[in-house]
Amino acid sequence: MGYLARYISKKFWGPFFFALGVFAALVVLGDTFEKLKNLNNGYATLGAILTYSLLSFPNWLTTIMPVACLLAAISVISEMVANGEWTACVAGGFAPRQLFKPVIVCIIIVAAATMLIQEFIVPPLNVKAADLYYTHIKRGIIFNLNAESDVTIKLSSDQMLYAKWVDLSQGLMTDVSVDTYNAEGDIVSQVVAKQMVWDKEQNAWFFKDGLTRTFADKTIAQDENFEIAPSPVTLSPKEMSVSKTDSNMMSLRELSRRISFFKRTGLSSYVAETERQGKLATPFVTLIMCLLGMPFAISMRRKSKILNIIASMVIAFTFWWLINMITSLGQNGYINPFLAGWGPVLIFGTLVFFEFKWLKL
């Protein structure tokens, strides 16, 4: 089986890299031509657009790799069937599952590579691409990965913080208000400040240029001005995450930090948790998608690249449609984020089980 496994594995990589190259070229060229529309805005340059396309390429690559993997898996099996190699191997005592194993090993290698690229290469390059896009191609939006406007944070069961602008990279919040409530939900005190800044030496947040307002009742309040006052916020900027940045710009570690912050401050973590589970499920999605298509190749009695491509696209788009639908439900809180991330794996994994059982593979 050792020689046969190496032979089957070698047959996998040719169609894989061919499909990867063709799909990548089509997607990148389409994205580049779409961005070329900005050349007439007066400040976008061809060099900036090409650089943007280069920085975005790994992100497109991780999207295309599962489809290329599926096409390669179907091509290997269908070619062996068309050439009579599959029949010869089965007649020689090899079970179909044994012939699938070398292909599955190749799929696992691709899935692992996709996961590594997604985690360590794509996020920083996507951040650079977005920064380039909003500074040199389509101006008008200030891009800051660590900043956000109109932020609301629950500090405790009786305290809420509101900030017009938060920039964690600078350790700065502007137009800040911290409200304290009693057990009945009535406001009892309020701190309003122009700024709240992070002091690295004291490892603490401080209000600057504000006032403390104490409510004797709902209509009477007493104000006391201050230049500097301590803040009740105990988290450092590195522990906080207020940006609504797309998950493609964040690694699993950064997403986990965001989820931890959201849970500690009472913010909704449905979106972030769904995205994290989706990233974790990615390798299994690739494997199961390929396992779903491989038995289909056995039924084809002649080699047909067009049929292989059509089968791959149908299976892939069905997967993506289901993933997008379930992900949307998870992000909006209709279903558990774990179910939203792993639902497609469970659904299609069940289909693969019954498919293999029905075909006796």
The tens digit of pLDDT for each residue in 297-329 reads: 777 655 566 776 677 778 888 888 888 899 889
pLDDT at 270: 86
pLDDT at 305: 65
pTM of the model: 0.84
Dihedrals φ, ψ of 146, to 5°?
-105, 15
pLDDT at 14: 93
pLDDT < 70 regions, the chain: 1, 140-141, 218-219, 300-305, 308-309
pLDDT at 79: 86
pLDDT at 247: 80
Cβ-contact 59, 117 below 8 angstroms: no
Dihedrals φ, ψ of 89, to 5°?
-65, -45
Report the phi/psi class of residue 185: left, alpha or beta, with left for phi > 0 and alpha for psi in -120 to 50: left
Beta-sheet strand order (sheet of 221-230) = 147-156, 159-167, 172-181, 187-199, 204-215, 221-230
Domain-wise residue ranges, the chain: 2-140+270-359, 147-235
Give the chain's length.
361
Helix-helix angle 305-331:46-82, to 10 degrees: 120
Strand pairing category for 187-199 and 172-181: antiparallel
pLDDT at 135: 87
pLDDT at 218: 65
pLDDT at 1: 57
pLDDT at 7: 92
